[in-house]
A and B are shown apart, each in its own frame.
Chain A
Amino acid sequence: MDFTFTPEQDALREQARAFLAANPEPSWKELAELGWTGVSIAEEDGGAGLTFVEEAVLLEELGRALYRGPFFSTVAVTLPALPDDLRAEVAAGETSWTLAFGPLVPDLDTADRVAIVGGDGIYELEGAEREILSTTDETRPVGVVRGGDPGRRLADSGVLEEIRNRTLAALAIEACGVARRALEFGIEHASTREQFGKPIGVYQAVSHPLADAYTRLELARSLSLWAAWCVAENDEQAPIAAAAAKAFAAEAAVQVCETAIQVHGGIGFTWEHVLQRLYKRALWIESFSASSSTLRAEVAAALLDATPAASGFVQTPVSLTQGG
């Protein structure tokens, strides 16, 4: 058993953090040049032939940097549905994708092409009209597609379970990146802001909520990395790990952001401070795909209700759409 990152994975994280600090709004092409769009794509298709664990490293850093772009919708969501030639285009940075699996389509403002679930397959959607809907998190618009026709058949709908697991695990680890940065702001402020002649972090009414925020974040990160590893290894626990990670990490990120805002006092409540953006991203993650309580209902069903098989928990994929 080894639950540490390799030196290469650590180096990838350092590279990502440094790059995103210097380039907060990278283009799709720039991400491709770094090799990020093709991390898990096979080497013969121009990718790096790595796994979802490396993609999780990037997703965590992208969350931390409040990245805006189609990385989530392309890499976490649509990639399993793409045939090899289209994967090669993704690795080369020529196209980005999103998948319409519910009424609200992620990253529709930036993704080049759209796939859609229909019947027993996933197809490219051609000639559809896109309407972009602004969201509370200004950096994460969604959209709706209208009309259009199914074009090339990309994959069987059997791939939806993998898509579901990747989506939930990606949102979970992204939430950890958001929460980490919010916690760092909270610690920094509590260490430097003085009131009554002392840094406010000496008061346990301030430090203990931060200790709790750290605790929730570390637990969330353990679940998210477990889920990422299960996805990478196609482990039988992937469905329940992904559900558990998303349910826990999204709530944890919201809570950590709320603690950081409270610790900051008035400044934490202003538009000017980046905390409000981290908070809105955390809330977006919590709402997207499936809420924490919906996912816990899945977990409860797996634990408490009679299931045909004793091994593995979730037998049927969770519907990614909440309405229909």
Chain B
Amino acid sequence: MDLRDTADEAAFRGELRSWIEENLPAELQGHRGGAARFEGEAMRGWSRALHEAGYAGLTWPTEYGGSGASYTHQAIFLEEMARAEAPPHVGVIGLGMAGPTIMAHGSEEQKARYLEPILSADEIWCQGFSEPGAGSDLAAVRTSARQKNGHFVVDGQKVWSSFAHLASFCILLTRSDPESKRHAGLTYLIVDMHAPGVDVRPLTQITGEAEFNEIFFDGVEVPAENLLGEIGGGWQVAMTTLLHERGTLGFALQAALAVQVRKLAALARDRGADPLQRDRIAREWIEVQALRFTNYRALSKLVKTGVPGPEGSISKLVWSEANQRVTKLALELLGPDAALAEENAPYGGYWQHQQLRSRGNTIEAGTSEVLRNIVAERVLGLPKSR
């Protein structure tokens, strides 16, 4: 047990910290979230700079253009990026989900075609998993892929798809066998978002922004070589994607929460806090430390044994609920000013926006109810509820 950075980790952290300081454009620093931040040339430029410095696809193998770095370096990278309030590489879905899935299940041709442009931010990806009738219950997907004249014809609707309005490609989970039920008969496809019959419509959310989209597929022809894995083997491929979605995500979340708590403390110093509020601020500071060291425990186990510790499964659950409490507490500290719309509000409406956005945290990427089921069944070994 040694909770300090090793010499190698400290060197990596130091270099990265100076690199961010020198390269992060001022207009991108301290973004408050929302979809708009991913649009525009500055974000592409920032993403390309990350790639050229070797920070994009840090854990990707070098043969695919990555840096082949350890999970520990990835964790440090996520911590430092959050600490500097730097926006992520624009290829969030490509780097974290589509890329690793292609590496695991793709053909050599697919790897050669798709991986490099993800790193260089030339091509953005989106994910087509959830549907109006298939949310937490992903195995209920109905979007169909019929085989016809050597290609697939896709019809259906996907929802809650981030980046779809910017994306070149979509990783799409379809039902290729109309007679099939549940996990069987699913097929995983790579779909060109500019193909005829693809229609993207933004979904305006509680904050007034549109981070998510609906995607409609109307007779979209997908070439046979865009199949990922086997026909009917889509569920296994989808599980690879979701495993990566929840991988080192905990570090990014915890580091972002640490920044929120730092801002909360600054707010309390600026505007004052009563003893009850001070107690709650201390609670949140303690909770962030707890989350941080829980992530370290899971990461250490992953590095040593190749298998993440069960502690890691609680990260997203804890973070999402903590972020909701922190943002609500910030509004309380603002007093009557909390009601002001962003153009009139202190700090440009940062906390009003964060509070509303945080309501999505317990829903996106696995609802808290699903995560509690996972803890109960897979970690505690309780009998299955369904």
Q: In the complex the two chains form, is A3's CB within 8 Å of B293's CB?
A: yes
**Residues on the A chain within 8 Å of B384, using CB:** 202
B65-101: CB near A (< 8 Å → 1, else 0) gives 0000000100000000000000000000000000000
**Residues on the B chain within 8 Å of A212, using CB:** 372
- The one of B265, B279, B289, B379 in contact with A223, judged by C-beta atoms closer than 8 angstroms, is B289
Give the docked Cα–Cα distance between A199 and B291 (Å): 32
Supposing A1-B300, A300-B282 touch, asked if A201 and B383 sit within 8 A by C-beta, the answer is yes
Q: In the complex the two chains form, is B269's CB within 8 Å of A210's CB?
A: no
Q: In the complex the two chains form, is A296's CB within 8 Å of B373's CB?
A: no
Contact residues of A between 196 and 228, Cβ < 8 Å to B = 198-199, 201-204, 207-208, 210-212, 214-215, 218-220, 222-223, 225-226
Contact residues of A between 3 and 57, Cβ < 8 Å to B = 3-6, 9, 53
A188 nearest CB across to chain B (Å): 10
Q: In the complex the two chains form, is A244's CB within 8 Å of B289's CB?
A: yes
**Residues on the B chain within 8 Å of A97, using CB:** none
**Residues on the A chain within 8 Å of B278, using CB:** 296-297, 300, 304
Does B6 belong to the interface (CB within 8 Å)? yes
Does A65 belong to the interface (CB within 8 Å)? no
Q: In the complex the two chains form, is B1's CB within 8 Å of A2's CB?
A: yes
**Residues on the B chain within 8 Å of A248, using CB:** 286-287, 290
Does B385 belong to the interface (CB within 8 Å)? yes
Q: In the complex the two chains form, is A222's CB within 8 Å of B9's CB?
A: no
Does B268 belong to the interface (CB within 8 Å)? yes
Q: In the complex the two chains form, is B1's CB within 8 Å of A53's CB?
A: yes
Does B148 belong to the interface (CB within 8 Å)? no
Q: In the complex the two chains form, is A215's CB within 8 Å of B314's CB?
A: yes
- The one of B5, B286, B303, B318 in contact with A299, judged by C-beta atoms closer than 8 angstroms, is B286
Give the docked Cα–Cα distance between A208 and B297 (Å): 23
- The one of A3, A187, A297, A304 in contact with B381, judged by C-beta atoms closer than 8 angstroms, is A187
**Residues on the A chain within 8 Å of B36, using CB:** none
Supposing A1-B300, A201-B383, A220-B290 touch, asked if A299 and B3 sit within 8 A by C-beta, the answer is no
A108 nearest CB across to chain B (Å): 31
- The one of B4, B286, B379, B382 in contact with A244, judged by C-beta atoms closer than 8 angstroms, is B286
Does B283 belong to the interface (CB within 8 Å)? yes
**Residues on the A chain within 8 Å of B1, using CB:** 2-6, 9, 53, 225, 229
**Residues on the A chain within 8 Å of B174, using CB:** none
Q: In the complex the two chains form, is A219's CB within 8 Å of B382's CB?
A: no
Does A136 belong to the interface (CB within 8 Å)? no
**Residues on the B chain within 8 Å of A5, using CB:** 1
Does A134 belong to the interface (CB within 8 Å)? no
Closest to B376 in A: A207
B92-130: CB near A (< 8 Å → 1, else 0) gives 000000000000000000000000000000000000000
Give the docked Cα–Cα distance between A300 and B372 (Å): 31
**Residues on the A chain within 8 Å of B380, using CB:** 187, 207, 210-211, 214
**Residues on the B chain within 8 Å of A191, using CB:** 381-383
Does A99 belong to the interface (CB within 8 Å)? no
Q: In the complex the two chains form, is A3's CB within 8 Å of B297's CB?
A: yes
Q: In the complex the two chains form, is A2's CB within 8 Å of B385's CB?
A: no
Q: In the complex the two chains form, is B2's CB within 8 Å of A297's CB?
A: no
Q: In the complex the two chains form, is A303's CB within 8 Å of B265's CB?
A: yes
Give the docked Cα–Cα distance between A300 and B278 (Å): 6
- The one of B279, B286, B293 in contact with A225, judged by C-beta atoms closer than 8 angstroms, is B293
B244 nearest CB across to chain A (Å): 22
**Residues on the B chain within 8 Å of A247, using CB:** 282, 286
- The one of A202, A207, A296 in contact with B372, judged by C-beta atoms closer than 8 angstroms, is A207
Closest to B301 in A: A4
Closest to A230 in B: B3
**Residues on the B chain within 8 Å of A198, using CB:** 383
Does A293 belong to the interface (CB within 8 Å)? yes
What are 14 of the A-B contact pairs (CB < 8 Å)? A204-B372, A207-B377, A210-B376, A211-B375, A211-B380, A222-B291, A226-B3, A247-B286, A296-B279, A296-B282, A297-B275, A300-B278, A304-B265, A304-B281
Residues of A within 8 A of B (CB): 1-6, 9, 53, 187, 190-191, 198-199, 201-204, 207-208, 210-212, 214-215, 218-220, 222-223, 225-226, 229, 241, 244, 247-248, 293, 296-297, 299-300, 303-304
* 4 closest A-B pairs by CB: A222-B293, A219-B290, A207-B376, A296-B282
